[in-house]
Amino acid sequence: MAAYRLPDHRSAVYQVLHVGYGHERVASTVSYVEEGELRAVIDPGMVPSRSAILAPLARRGVRPQDITDVVISHHHPDHTLNCALFPRARVHDFWAVYENDVWSARPAEGLELSPSVLLWETPGHTPQDITTLVGTSTGLTAFTHLWWNAGGPTPDPLATDPRLLTRHRRRVLRVADTIVPGHGAPFRSVRPP
């Protein structure tokens, strides 16, 4: 298996702001990551109300204008709907960073947002999926839509490329200690054989 770049440091902190779900209603798991000057929100998509994102940030003393970066795991609206809550943030996806009226094309693979935070391209659920790897004092956490929740699902009924999704799940499981899935609570990773 090819070697992949990992975060150089393990000093970021994160908080899951809202645990997502996907049954009769749908909401994304929305997370906050902080290291140095970086104040990032991952997948600010559909939630019961905007306060599900903003209230936990406010309890941390973080205002919407303090957010420096937003990362979207893929382009489905349930993961992107509330990006505009953060007016000063750069928005990262699989092929560019967007800031105000500037669209800067670049690959996501290996892009470092801070010494402990970098992006991997992990298509499978959609061709545009990325995973945010965050090094913390307790290990490496992967924020990803390779899983909806701890149960998978396996197979992913909406996957555009199930074989690629399986390959990238194995890639992430080889390095991550914790998985923060697209629509569920964090769970501990189990290393593949």
Q: Are 186 and 180 in contact (CB under 8 A)?
A: yes
- pLDDT values of the chain reduced to their tens digit, one per residue, 193 residues: 456 899 999 999 999 999 999 989 999 999 999 999 999 999 999 999 999 999 999 999 999 999 999 999 999 999 999 999 999 999 999 999 999 999 999 999 999 999 999 999 999 999 999 999 999 999 999 999 999 999 999 999 999 999 999 999 999 999 999 999 999 999 999 887 7
Q: pTM to 2 decimals?
A: 0.97
Indicate the SS3 state at residue 117: strand
Q: Are 119 and 131 in contact (CB under 8 A)?
A: yes
Please, which residues have CB within 8 angstroms of residue 42's CB and are 6 or more apart in sequence?
Answer: 30, 31, 32, 33, 70, 71, 72, 73, 132, 143, 180
Q: What fold characterizes domain 13-188?
A: Metallo-beta-lactamase; Chain A (3.60.15)
CA dist 10 and 190 (Å) reads: 20
Burial label, 121 (beta-carbon count in 10 A; 0-12, 13-18, 19+): middle
